Amino acid sequence: MKIHALILLLPVFFIACVSNTKYKELEKENVILKEKVNELKYGDKVLYEAAKNAFNSDNFIKSKRYARTLIKEHPSSIYFTNTQDLIVRINRIEVNRWNEKEKIRKEVEKRLSKNIKEEYDGFKKITFYESTRYEYVHGAFGPSFQIKLYIGKRDNGEKYFRIKSILVSEESKRQSFYKVQLWGDNGTVIDYFPEYIEEEIIEERHGIYNYRSTVYKQLTADNPIDLNLVLDINKSNEMKFRFILNSSKNTETITHSFNENQRKAFNEIVEKFNRLK
C-alpha cells in the first residue's frame, strides 16, 4: 500500500521540481530584461545625449537632472568629465541671467522711484503711489484737464487703482464733468461718472496794473477703477480720453489723445502696481 502511494506521489514531485526550475529561469530572464531596459533608459551615453539635447533646448532643469543621474549612476563613465563641464556651463549661464534680470530690476525701480511719489496715510492705513509727471492738458480757449491714475495699498496687502479727474475752467462758464471715458486701440473702454470730492476757486489777475482778473473753478473727482480694465487698456499702443461736460448753456464733448508724458505716467503706475508685493 505504501509503495502504491509513493508511486502516485512521484509525478507530483517531478512536476513541482520542473515548475520551480522554470520559475527560476524566468526570474533570471526578467532581471536581464530589466537591466537592458535600464541601460536603454539610463545608460551613460543615453543620459549624456539627453542632457545635451535639453541644454540645447534651453531646458536647464531637465538637462541638470539627466546630468546628475549620470554622475551618480556612472562615476566611471567616459562622459563623466563632459557631464560635469555641462553642469558648470549651465550654472554660469543661470548666474549671468539672474544678474542681468537683477540689473534691469534695479534700473526700473530707480526710474519708478524718480517718477512716482509714495505717501502713507496713517489714519486710513493706506500707502498711496502717484505719478510726479506733468499730466495737464490745456485747451486753447477752453478748460484744462488732468487725468491721474494712482495706487492705494492697504496695510493688509490689498492694492487697488483709483483715478483722479481734474477740471479747471472759468467760473462763469459753470462747467463740470458729466462723464469721462478712456479707451485704447485694443478695444478696451473705461467710462465713469466723476465723484467730486473737492472744489476750489482760483483768481488770476491780468494787465500791467493787475486791474483785470479771471476767476477759475477747479473741480477734482476721485473714482475707483476696475483693476482688469486698467491692465487691459495699458496694453494699448494708443490711448485717448473723452470728457463730456455740462455747462450753463449746453453739453460739450472734448476728446484728446494721451500725450507721451501722460502715457508714461499711466504705464509707470501700472508697472509699479505689478511690482508691489
Residues 228 and 250 in one domain: yes
- Of 78, 97, 116, the one marking the end of a domain is 116
How many independent structural domains does the chain possess?
Answer: 2
- Classify residue 228: in a domain, yes or no: yes
Output the pLDDT for position 55. Answer: 95
- Classify residue 27: in a domain, yes or no: yes
The parent domain of residue 54 ranges over: 18-116
- Classify residue 10: in a domain, yes or no: no
- Classify residue 101: in a domain, yes or no: yes
pLDDT mean across residues, the chain: 81
Q: Where are the alpha helices (DSSP H) in 57-152?
A: 60-73, 80-115
Residues 161 and 53 in one domain: no
Residues 103 and 206 in one domain: no
**Interior angle at CA 248, CA 242 and CA 252, nearest 5:** 20
- Classify residue 138: in a domain, yes or no: yes
Q: Is 237 exposed, middle or buried (0-12, 13-18, 19+ CB in 10 A)?
A: exposed
- Of 67, 83, 116, the one marking the end of a domain is 116
Residues 189 and 207 in one domain: yes
Q: What is the pTM of this model?
A: 0.63
What is the average per-residue pLDDT within 216-245? 88
pLDDT digits (tens, 9 = 90+) for 144-155: 778 899 999 999
Candidate from 3-7, 107-111, 133-137 with smallest mean pLDDT: 3-7
Q: What are phi and psi of 209, to 5 degrees?
A: -105, 20
Q: Which of the two residues, 121 and 212, has the higher pLDDT score? A: 121
Residues 243 and 144 in one domain: yes
Output the pLDDT for position 10. Answer: 47
Strands 196-206 and 144-154: unpaired
Output the pLDDT for position 156. Answer: 94
Q: Which of the two residues, 176 and 104, has the higher pLDDT score? A: 104
Residues 98 and 189 in one domain: no
